[in-house]
A and B are shown apart, each in its own frame.
Chain A
Amino acid sequence: MFPTPDLSHLTRNDYNQIYEPDADSFLLLDALELKLNEILEQKPFIIFEFGSGSGLITTFVAKHFCLTSCLFFAIDINPYACYSTKRTFQQNNLHKKHCLNIIQCNLADPLIDRLSSKVDLILFNPPYVPTETSDVKEVIERTYAGGKQGIEVIEKAIEQASRLLSSKGLFYMVALEENNFDTLKELANQVGLNIDIILKRRTLIERLFVVQFQRK
Chain B
Amino acid sequence: MLTSNILKGVTRGFPLKIKADKMEHISVDYNRDFIARIIPRIEYDALRAAVNDLGLNESLPEAMSETLQQDDEFLKTMHKVLLEYEVEEGELICPETGRKFPISKGIPNMLLQETEVS
Given A79-B107, A83-B107, CB of A114 within 8 Å of CB of B6: yes
- Assess the B111–A104 pair: CB atoms within 8 A: yes
What class of interface size applies to chain A in its complex with B?
Answer: 20 to 34
Instruction: Give the total of B residues in contact with A, Cβ under 8 Å.
Output: 29
Contacts of A71 in B (CB 8 A): 3, 34, 38
- Assess the A83–B110 pair: CB atoms within 8 A: no
- Assess the A68–B105 pair: CB atoms within 8 A: no
Question: Is B70 an interface residue, CB under 8 A from the partner?
Answer: no
* Alpha-carbon gap, A104 to B104, bound state (A): 10
Number of A-B contacts defined by CB within 8 Å: 71
Question: Is A100 an interface residue, CB under 8 A from the partner?
Answer: yes
- Assess the B34–A68 pair: CB atoms within 8 A: yes
Question: Is A82 an interface residue, CB under 8 A from the partner?
Answer: yes
Q: Give chain B's interface residues, CB within 8 Å of chain A.
A: 1, 3-4, 6-9, 14, 26-29, 31, 33-34, 37-38, 41, 82-83, 104-112
Q: Give chain A's interface residues, CB within 8 Å of chain B.
A: 45, 68-71, 77, 79, 82-83, 86, 95-97, 99-106, 109-111, 113-114, 118
Contacts of B109 in A (CB 8 A): 79, 104-105
- Assess the A99–B107 pair: CB atoms within 8 A: no
- Assess the B31–A105 pair: CB atoms within 8 A: no
Contacts of B82 in A (CB 8 A): 99
Contacts of B31 in A (CB 8 A): 68-69, 97
Among B7, B37, B82: residue with most chain A CB under 10 A: B7
Given A69-B31, A118-B41, CB of A101 within 8 Å of CB of B110: no
Determine which of A68, A70, A95, A103 lies in contact with B108 in the assembled complex, contact meaning CB atoms within 8 Å: A103
